[in-house]
C-alpha cells in the first residue's frame, strides 16, 4: 500500500510539474498567505529526446520511478540504452553524454534538464572536479527496467 501511495504521489508530482512547465514564462501562484507568492520558473519544455527522437511513453501499466544518482569525478557509466522515457535534472557537476553509435557528445551542467535518448547506446561521464548529482525520472511499463547494459 505504501508503494502504491508513493507511486501515486510521484505520478502526481510529474503530472503537476509537466502542467506547470507547459505554460510559458514565470508564474506567481497564490500561496494562501497574503504577501507571499509561490514563484514557478519553467525549466524545460521539450517534445524530443537528446538525439531528436519524439518522446513516446509506455502504452499500458505506466510506472514512474524516481532516483537520485551521484557520479564521482572521473567516473564513467557503462554503455547502456533505455527502452522507455528517462528524464534527468542536473543538480550539481558536469556530465558529458556520448552517443556511442554516432560519436556525438553533449555536455550538461547544474540546472540542465535532460531527456535521454531511447534505444540508442550511450555513455555518461563525470568530466568535472565535483560529483555529478542527478534527479532521474523513468516512465516504464510496470515491473520493467529502464536500463539495458551493452554486452
Same domain, 36 and 71: no
- What's the number of domains the chain is made of? 2
Looking at the chain, the whole-number percentage of residues with pLDDT higher than 90 is 67
Q: Can you give the CATH number for the domain in which 113 is found?
A: 2.60.120.10
Q: Is 20 exposed, middle or buried (0-12, 13-18, 19+ CB in 10 A)?
A: middle
Cβ pair 148, 81 in contact under 8 A: yes
**pLDDT tens-digit series, residues 78-101:** 999 999 999 999 999 999 999 999
Helices (H) and strands (E) in the chain, counts: 1, 11
Same domain, 52 and 104: yes
d(CA 23, CA 53): 22
Domain of 15?
Answer: 1-45
Same domain, 129 and 68: yes
- Res. 17: pLDDT tops 60: no
Name residue 139's beta-bridge partners: 64
pLDDT band at residue 106 under the 50/70/90 scheme: very high
**pLDDT tens-digit series, residues 34-82:** 778 888 888 889 999 999 999 988 889 999 999 999 999 999 999 999 9
* C-alpha Rg value of the chain to the nearest Å: 17
Following CA atoms 7, 31, 87, 26 in sequence, which dihedral angle do they give, to the nearest 10 degrees? 160
pTM, two decimal places: 0.75
Same domain, 52 and 16: no
Amino acid at each position: 500500500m505504501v508503494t502504491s501511495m508513493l507511486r501515486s504521489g510521484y505520478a502526481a508530482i510529474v503530472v503537476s510539474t509537466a502542467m506547470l512547465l507547459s505554460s510559458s514564462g514565470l508564474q506567481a501562484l497564490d500561496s494562501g498567505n497574503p504577501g507571499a507568492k509561490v514563484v514557478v520558473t519553467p525549466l524545460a519544455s521539450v517534445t524530443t529526446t537528446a538525439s531528436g527522437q519524439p518522446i513516446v511513453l509506455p502504452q499500458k501499466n505506466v510506472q514512474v520511478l524516481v532516483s537520485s544518482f551521484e557520479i564521482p569525478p572521473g567516473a564513467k557509466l557503462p554503455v547502456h540504452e533505455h527502452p522507455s522515457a528517462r528524464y534527468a535534472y542536473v543538480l550539481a557537476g558536469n556530465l558529458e553524454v556520448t552517443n556511442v553509435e554516432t560519436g556525438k557528445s553533449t555536455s550538461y551542467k547544474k540546472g540542465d534538464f535532460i531527456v535521454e535518448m531511447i534505444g540508442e547506446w550511450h555513455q555518461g561521464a563525470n568530466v568535472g572536479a565535483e560529483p555529478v548529482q542527478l534527479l532521474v525520472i523513468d516512465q516504464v511499463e510496470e515491473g520493467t527496467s529502464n536500463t539495458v547494459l551493452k554486452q
